Amino acid sequence: MDNNEIREFHKTGPRFFYGYVVVLVALLIMLISYGTRTSFGVFFKPLLGEFDWNRASISGAVTLSLISQGLWGMVMGRLNDRAGPRVVITLCCFLSGLGFLLLAQINYLWEIYVYYGVIIGFGMGGVFVALVSTVSRWFVKRRGVMTGIVLTGLGASMLILSPLATWLISVFDWRLAYVVMGGMILVIGTGLAQFLRRDPNSIGSLPYGQHEIEEGLPSSNIGGLSLYGALRTWQFWSVLLIYTCIGFITFTVVTHFIPHMTDLGITAAMAANVMSLSGGAMIIGGVLLGMIADRIGPRRVLAICLMLMTAPFFLLIPFGDLWTLFIISFVFGLGSGGSGVAQNSAVAELFGIKSHGLIFGAVSFGFTIGGAVGPFITGHIFDASGSYNLAFIVCITVGIVGFILAVLLKPIKR
């Protein structure tokens, strides 16, 4: 069946679109795989209590994990462009599951660096890039909202798996909690990966909305630049720096927000509930800002997200009551949920989808570098000063820089 026949078949009569299966499967994989990552803050205090480690040393494992994730993400983005997400996600879920099972056995600091920093870092490297890039190939219209739906898995992971990990630690211990987390991603994640397909052409279909583009309606560029072409534009480096800032802020919160709340006298269970509200807000932000991105464009949504993610830090320094922390968690979650949607749509809008996986992986490397540096610097600041206040000021500065870059971002002149 050639392209013309595919186009005519796609336009005639009601036909189930497999892209919706891809979106649902991607959402579930995102929930399971990132639930294990975002619950890391829950394990922070139990590890400090059992071992003679400080916050900076544990944060260093997060730093190494994110560097590994960023480097491997570019490799997996390229592999996803060629072989498709089924291969990539199966490999990544296997590595992540294995890493968490090994974490349950640790007794020495170097082990957390190897298992979490390297093995899980590699495992997580392809999950976000492959899933989000694949959705871009299935949807031309509604790309923003479909990406938002997939990224609700990130919010749901915080809403569901962080409290689950807290419960497992309180009833059993942190080692069993790691076994449960590893088993979930190893069995369920690899199983779900078998339902993924690279693009609509693999099953004789077209991307959703592509025929409307061919009839003259405006949308994102179907072709696009190679990575080499993108590297020659200032827009690529602006997007890279924007997501470096977003990664810095995001993983500082993921790693240190729960320890900060328990330092204020809030119980671990309540701190997990506050953090889970951020996950619920990510669900709302991902879908809502995805819909907005489809209407006003992802570049403007990027600026909105950075405002929402930076504003809560102004409240963290003077206020520490429970209700303020709930508000902070919710507002931050809204911005965080939209940032991934804006990233995917911005890469597709600016550079097309010809090498979307590779370019998206390169941009995501900036996110992971920022995420690697943020928790590490924050841990050192706390160990030196006994307070997170200076670290929060650093996050405000980083957020403002990212916001300015987002406002200045312009389309590529072709």
Cα separation, 347 vs 131, whole angstroms: 14
Q: What average pLDDT does the segment 252-280 reach?
A: 83
Instruction: Say how many C-beta atoms besides its own lie within 10 A of residue 203's C-beta.
Output: 11
Could you tell me the pLDDT band of residue 38, with boundaries at 50, 70 and 90? Answer: low
Cα separation, 128 vs 221, whole angstroms: 22
Cα separation, 151 vs 128, whole angstroms: 9
Cα separation, 92 vs 88, whole angstroms: 6
Q: Which two tokens stand for residue 238?
A: 């602006």
Could you tell me the pLDDT band of residue 275, with boundaries at 50, 70 and 90? Answer: confident
Does 398 score more than 90 pLDDT? yes
Percent of the chain's residues with pLDDT above 90: 20
Mean of the per-residue pLDDT values of the chain: 82
Give pLDDT, residue 356. Answer: 73
Give pLDDT, residue 339. Answer: 86
Percent of the chain's residues with pLDDT above 70: 91
Q: Domains (ranges, CATH) in the chain?
A: 18-205+214-408 (1.20.1250.20)
Cβ-count burial of 82 within 10 angstroms (0-12 exposed, 13-18 middle, 19+ buried)? exposed
Give the three-class secondary structure for 214.
helix
Comparing C-alpha atoms, which of 269, 270, 332 is closest to residue 305?
332
Instruction: Say how many C-beta atoms besides its own lie within 10 A of residue 234's C-beta.
Output: 11
| Residue that wins the pLDDT comparison between 172 and 54 | 172
Q: What average pLDDT does the segment 66-88 reach?
A: 84
Give pLDDT, residue 215. Answer: 46
Give pLDDT, residue 33. Answer: 85
Does 217 score more than 50 pLDDT? no
Q: Which two tokens stand for residue 258?
A: 């729960």
* Per-residue CA distances from 207 to 19, 89, 92, 100, 111 (Å): 8, 21, 26, 36, 44
Cα separation, 78 vs 83, whole angstroms: 9
